[in-house]
Amino acid sequence: MAADEPLVLGIETSCDETGVGIVRGTTLLADAVASSVDTHARFGGVVPEIASRAHLEAMVPTIERALKEAGVSARDLDGIAVTSGPGLAGALLVGVSAAKAYAYALGKPLYGVNHLASHICVDQLEHGPLPEPTMALLVSGGHSSLLLAPDITADVRPLGATIDDAAGEAFDKIARVLDLGFPGGPVIDRLAREGDPKAIAFPRGLTGPRDAPYDFSFSGLKTSVARWIEAKRAAGEEVPVRDVAASFQEAVVDVLTRKAVRACKDEGVDHLMIGGGVAANSRLRALAQERCERAGIRLRVPRPKLCTDNGAMVAALGAEMVARNRLPSDLELSADSSLPVTEPHVPGAAHAHAHSRAHDHDHVHEISKDNLYS
């Protein structure tokens, strides 16, 4: 860790975790998280209004805790990064507002960054600089995506995505049907270790020869598992919960890893990075390792704590923005709940206007301050 590497604080509030991380270059100094998951558990899912209020209460104490853990002062920072999208609009607004306030008060550059790109960049904190291009499989409650990133700060290309339920969402729904509580991923993973993954032949979505090669669909699987459970209960039979968990989990990770390895081969990329909350799943990690080794692909997966939403991943991408001299955002930065992954960060209005004039000159299209920050 060099003293001249950028020291960046990152704020993540896209869902129910208030995450604040501090990194110097690619070295993690602090990773403070305040979670409201227990509050949401009794509702069986995340309640946006509750999440936003929890972020408001946790923001300042979590930032102070991160600074203390890192042993730095806020005035030592070289920049402040924040998730500006995608995510829950109200939750994002809390983080963006806090980041703008700190950036203004401290006179530090502000970087509004993309949540999905941050999930990729966090791997630098564990395994060093990302190869270019990077192939990434991101799997969480809100998204299942295959992304090719030639430059994590400026060029991220979507190859495939979920067309209905994301993998993590399917885990939560099946856990609810089995009365296992929320969140569903960890408990299904735990029970599946004691079950038979071949006990029940659940379907694999979008794996036919004419299907989209890199897109994912878990809605049909979810429905199939739910109907299987309902049929057992209707017949007065005991539901083999561990076998259901193992067979369902195997159906999900089979499709995820199969398509990810195919994408690497098709694109000529010899490594695969897996991130997002579901990347903490033990069977996904094991099967991905097995298939990657067989295909001669190097697998990079951060430790489980860095896979779930956290401020460290935002700080990691922010530090990379500083290191590569990317233009910062300005104080007109706003939250964008549907920010596309093709925009790793939101540059300032001056840059947007220059970009607009260049495109207008070429008669392509116009990008204005109004549509960038609406």
pLDDT digits (tens, 9 = 90+) for 33-83: 998 776 767 767 778 788 899 999 999 999 999 999 999 999 999 999 999
- Asked whether residue 48 falls in the same domain as residue 186, the answer is no
Query: Would you say 156 and 344 are in contact if contact means Cβ atoms under 8 Å apart?
Result: yes
In the chain, the number of structural domains is 2
- Asked whether residue 316 falls in the same domain as residue 195, the answer is no
Q: Is residue 1 part of a domain?
A: no
Average pLDDT over the chain, rounded to whole?
A: 90
Question: Residue 185 pLDDT > 90, yes or no?
Answer: yes
Domain finish residue from 302, 327, 350: 302
- Asked whether residue 81 falls in the same domain as residue 218, the answer is no
pLDDT 10s digits, 191-241: 999 999 999 999 998 876 667 899 999 999 999 999 999 999 999 999 999
Q: What is the dihedral of CA 311, 313, 315, 319, to 10 degrees?
A: 180
Domain finish residue from 280, 302, 324: 302
Query: Which of 116, 119, 100, 47 has its CA nearest to residue 334?
Result: 100
Structural domain for 339, as ranges:
7-122+310-372
User: What CATH code is carried by the domain that includes residue 213?
Assistant: 3.30.420.40
**pLDDT at 207 (0 to 100):** 79
**pLDDT at 1 (0 to 100):** 62
pLDDT 10s digits, 296-340: 999 999 999 999 999 999 999 999 999 999 999 999 999 999 999
Query: Which of 87, 66, 67, 63 has its CA nearest to residue 76?
Result: 67
Domain finish residue from 302, 330, 360: 302
- Asked whether residue 214 falls in the same domain as residue 265, the answer is yes
- Asked whether residue 314 falls in the same domain as residue 334, the answer is yes
- Asked whether residue 276 falls in the same domain as residue 207, the answer is yes
Question: Residue 356 pLDDT > 70, yes or no?
Answer: no
Question: Residue 359 pLDDT > 80, yes or no?
Answer: no
**pLDDT at 260 (0 to 100):** 97
Query: What percent of the chain is predicted at pLDDT more than 70?
Result: 90
- Edge-first strand listing for the sheet containing 27-35: 27-35, 17-24, 7-12, 79-85, 110-114, 345-346
Global pTM?
0.89
Per-position DSSP letters for 229-245, written without gaps between them: HHHHHHTTPPP-HHHHH
DSSP 308: S
Question: Residue 373 pLDDT > 60, yes or no?
Answer: no
Q: Is residue 201 part of a domain?
A: yes
Q: Is residue 40 part of a domain?
A: yes
Q: Is residue 34 part of a domain?
A: yes
Query: Would you say 214 and 206 are in contact if contact means Cβ atoms under 8 Å apart?
Result: no
